[in-house]
């Protein structure tokens, strides 16, 4: 299978595509058919060296531009991404299997939002002036240096931009390693950035598995690491970065609660549960996979949910009407099927779905378990697939304690018409990203990230600037300086 937008080599370094076929081959599989659509090669030590040296060499000159100049390039790239949205969305669908109906509105568009937002912000990044009598201190907001971004496979274009845009706006350079499952999209991001005028070496992409990520994280020339991935990988990468005293951002997994109170608008709550469990076939880190429904409305909720799920159009992701696609890989499909089997073995009630679909590719039907209890594996572990666990509750105090009884803390949502309760519950959630009468909105203007095991630092909004820059204080004495001797 070929398509016009396919990147022409495995890596993008120093402003150009680079190939080194001596690296381990990584097959790119189209999840909707299981067909191989491309092969990339993992970065060899020579490629990693080239990327790090290019990023280092380019950094000082990039940082020496004014914010306006840096921002202009990012904004130009944003416009180009929007103009090429169709081709980029087709590529994203080939890379991930997500339906075109999603990728055409949520991936290159979200990446472009980040480039536009930080492009606009670049010129506004300043230090401050602190008066101390006649003396004064000023602060300079300085870049960190060379940043490494490591991506997961669910949003390859978005992750490449969410990390790249703030990093570059602050005057850093970046080496991005996409997930080995979805290596193609980030290459197009690099290509577009350079076409928009980015100097060579400022944004580089190298391919590989965990060991390539690990080589980057442990290199003394790297100043910051931003990972989007699972908690176990996060622990390893955080520890490795700590050994080198590097800055980190960790965007990790979750098992987020979504609470539906008895006064909720049921139709909206069902929409929230669908968006929070089945968008991208459930492969979204912030998903509200523990859906706590007040016992008095549980059956009504499940009825509407089952009816609405029958309207899902499962099939060829390239067809515009398809609304539900395959899992990203055979491996991920097997993980999800194993969790479904565990749910059944533990005695949860299978309301709908629960099986692989009889067609090529890695399709698992949208699955809902009811009567799930807190101790079941499907209520405790991140599944990262289309599996919703519905749990009952009676009181607010009880559901809040249960919602927070997890090592994760990425997201949480509440559906209620009671204004005071909505805000009280949002305040009580141990989670970094919360929703009231909504779920999974991720505008670039809002900080995004987790607490507890779900992460460190924030992406998006002005908050991300704090994680891609550092402050230098400069004390300025205006008079004579006294010393004890
Ligand atoms: P993963 O942890 O297996 O891999 C993530 C990335 O880390 C990959 O690029 C992988 O090659 C790399 N990696 C693996 N071991 C490494 C090591 N030792 N050193 C450096 N890099 C290493 O995650 P995944 O399966 O690709 O993605 C799914 C996970 O990502 C889920 O847990 C999901 O919740 C999480 N996720 C989080 C967010 C968020 O913003 N919080 C967004 C999307 C996905």
The Cα 420–Cα 425 span in angstroms is 9
2 has a pLDDT exceeding 60: no
Q: Per-residue pLDDT tens for 10-52?
A: 999 999 999 999 999 999 999 999 999 999 999 999 999 999 9
What element of type H or E holds 414?
strand 411-415
Distance CA 142, CA 124 (A): 13
Pocket of ligand 1 (CB under 6 A): 150-154, 177, 179-180, 209-210, 213-214, 217, 228-230, 233, 236-237, 251-254, 285, 382, 384, 410, 450, 455
Compute, in angstroms, the gap from residue 285 CA to the centroid of ligand 1: 10
364 strand-pairing partners: 356
Comparing CA positions, the residue from 332, 376, 328, 336 lying closest to residue 355 is 336
Residues designated catalytic: 163, 251, 285, 459
Q: How far apart are CA 108 and CA 369, in angstroms?
A: 33
Q: Quote the pLDDT of residue 80.
A: 98
State pLDDT tens for residues 127-170. 999 999 999 999 999 999 999 999 999 999 999 999 999 999 99
Strand partners of residue 135: 132
The band of 6, judged by pLDDT with boundaries at 50, 70 and 90, is confident
Q: Dihedral, CA atoms, 239, 244, 249, 250, nearest 10 degrees?
A: -10
Candidates 481, 478, 470; CA nearest to 145 is 470
Contacts of 426 (CB under 8 A, 6+ apart): 412, 414, 434, 436
CA of 131 to the centre of ligand 1 (A): 45
**pLDDT classification of 112: cutoffs 50, 70, 90:** very high
- pLDDT at position 271 is 98
Name which of 307, 88, 106 is nearest 192 in CA terms: 88
| Nearest atom, ligand 1, residue 152 CA | 26
Angstrom CA distances, 59 to 144, 169, 214, stand at 10, 12, 22
Residue 468 has pLDDT above 60, yes or no: yes
- Closest atom of ligand 1 to CA, residue 216: 20
Task: Report how far ligand 1's centroid is from the alpha carbon of 329 (Å).
Answer: 14
Residue nearest to atom 40 of ligand 1 (CA): 251
> How does strand 247-251 pair with strand 224-228?
parallel
Distance CA 350, CA 365 (A): 12
| Ligand 1 pocket: which of 95, 106, 114, 152 to mutate (most atoms within 8 A of CB) | 152
DSSP code of residue 253: -
Residue that is written with structure tokens 């004495």 in the block: 477
Report the alpha-carbon distance of residue 373 to residue 384 in Å, rounded: 19
Q: How far apart are CA 53 and CA 174, in angstroms?
A: 11
Rounded to an integer, the average pLDDT of 112-120 is 98
E-strand spans in 85-211? 129-132, 135-143, 146-150, 173-177, 203-205
**pLDDT band per the 50, 70, 90 thresholds, residue 438:** very high
Residue 4 has pLDDT above 80, yes or no: no
SS3 293: strand
The maximal CA–CA distance of the chain, rounded, in angstroms, is 87
Q: Is a pLDDT exceeding 90 seen at residue 1?
A: no
Pairing assessment for the beta strands 35-41 and 433-436 based on DSSP bridges: unpaired
Q: Which residue has the tokens 């944003």?
A: 78
Residue 253 CB burial class (10 angstroms; 0-12, 13-18, ≥19): buried
The answer to whether 149 and 164 are in contact (CB under 8 A) is yes
**Residue written as tokens 């996060």?**
234
Is residue 5 over pLDDT 90? no
> What phi and psi, each to the nearest 5 degrees, are found at residue 320?
-60, -30
Cα distance from N-terminal residue to C-terminal residue, the chain: 80
Q: What is the pLDDT of residue 307?
A: 98
CA of 179 to the centre of ligand 1 (A): 7
Identify the burial level of 150 via C-beta atoms within 10 angstroms of its C-beta, where 0-12 means exposed, 13-18 middle and 19 or more buried. Answer: buried
Picking from 225, 196, 121, 205, the residue whose alpha carbon sits closest to that of residue 157 is 205
Q: What percent of the chain has pLDDT over 90?
A: 99
φ/ψ of residue 142, rounded to 5: -110, 150
Q: pLDDT of 301-357, one tens digit each?
A: 999 999 999 999 999 999 999 999 999 999 999 999 999 999 999 999 999 999 999
For residue 117, give both structure tokens.
Answer: 């937002």
State the pLDDT at residue 3. Answer: 53
Determine what percent of the chain is predicted with pLDDT higher than 70. 99
Task: Give the predicted TM-score (pTM) of the model.
Answer: 0.97
């Amino acid at each position: 299978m070929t398509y016009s937008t396919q990147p022409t080599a495995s890596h993008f370094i120093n402003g150009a595509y680079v190939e080194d076929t001596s690296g381990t081959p990584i097959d790119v599989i189209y999840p909707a058919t299981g067909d191989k659509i491309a092969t990339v090669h993992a970065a060899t030590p020579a490629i990693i060296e080239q990327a790090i040296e290019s990023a280092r060499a380019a950094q000082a000159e990039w940082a020496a531009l004014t914010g306006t100049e840096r921002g202009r390039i990012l904004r130009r790239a944003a416009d180009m991404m929007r103009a090429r949205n169709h081709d980029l969305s087709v590529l994203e669908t080939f890379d991930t299997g997500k339906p075109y109906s999603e990728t055409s509105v949520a991936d290159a568009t979200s990446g472009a939002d980040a480039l536009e937002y930080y492009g606009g912000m670049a010129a506004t990044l300043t230090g401050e002036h602190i008066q101390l009598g006649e003396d004064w201190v000023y602060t300079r907001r300085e870049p960190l240096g060379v940043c490494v971004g490591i991506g997961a496979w669910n949003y390859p274009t978005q992750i490449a931009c969410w990390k790249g845009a703030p990093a570059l706006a602050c005057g850093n350079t970046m080496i991005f390693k996409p997930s080995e499952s979805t290596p193609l999209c980030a290459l197009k991001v690099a290509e577009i950035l350079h076409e928009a005028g980015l100097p060579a070496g400022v944004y580089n992409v190298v391919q590989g598995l965990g060991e390539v990520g690990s080589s980057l994280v442990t290199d003394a020339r790297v100043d910051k690491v931003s990972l989007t991935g699972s908690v176990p990988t996060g622990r390893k990468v955080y520890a490795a970065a700590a050994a080198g005293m590097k800055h980190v951002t960790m965007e990790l997994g979750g098992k987020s609660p979504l609470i539906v109170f008895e006064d909720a608008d049921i139709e909206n709550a069902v929409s929230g549960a669908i968006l929070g469990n089945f968008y991208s076939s459930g492969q979204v880190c912030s998903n509200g996979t523990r859906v706590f429904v007040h016992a008095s409305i549980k059956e009504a909720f499940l009825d509407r949910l089952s009816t609405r799920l029958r309207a899902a159009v499962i099939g060829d992701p390239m067809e515009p009407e398809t609304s539900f696609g395959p899992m990203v890989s055979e491996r991920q499909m097997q993980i999800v099927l194993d969790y479904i089997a565990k749910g059944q073995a533990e005695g949860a009630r299978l309301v709908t779905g629960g099986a692989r679909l009889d067609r090529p590719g890695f399709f698992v039907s949208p699955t809902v378990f009811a009567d799930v209890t807190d101790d079941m594996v499907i209520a405790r572990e991140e599944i990262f697939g289309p599996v919703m666990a519905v749990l009952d509750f009676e009181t607010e105090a009880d559901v809040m304690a249960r919602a927070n009884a997890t090592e994760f803390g990425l997201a949480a949502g509440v559906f209620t018409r009671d204004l005071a309760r909505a805000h009280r519950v949002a305040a009580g959630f141990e989670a970094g990203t919360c929703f009231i009468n909504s779920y999974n909105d991720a505008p670039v203007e809002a900080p995004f990230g987790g607490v507890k095991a779900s992460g460190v630092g924030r992406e998006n909004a002005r908050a991300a600037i704090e994680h891609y820059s550092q402050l230098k204080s400069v004390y300025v004495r205006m008079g004579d300086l006294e010393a004890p001797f």
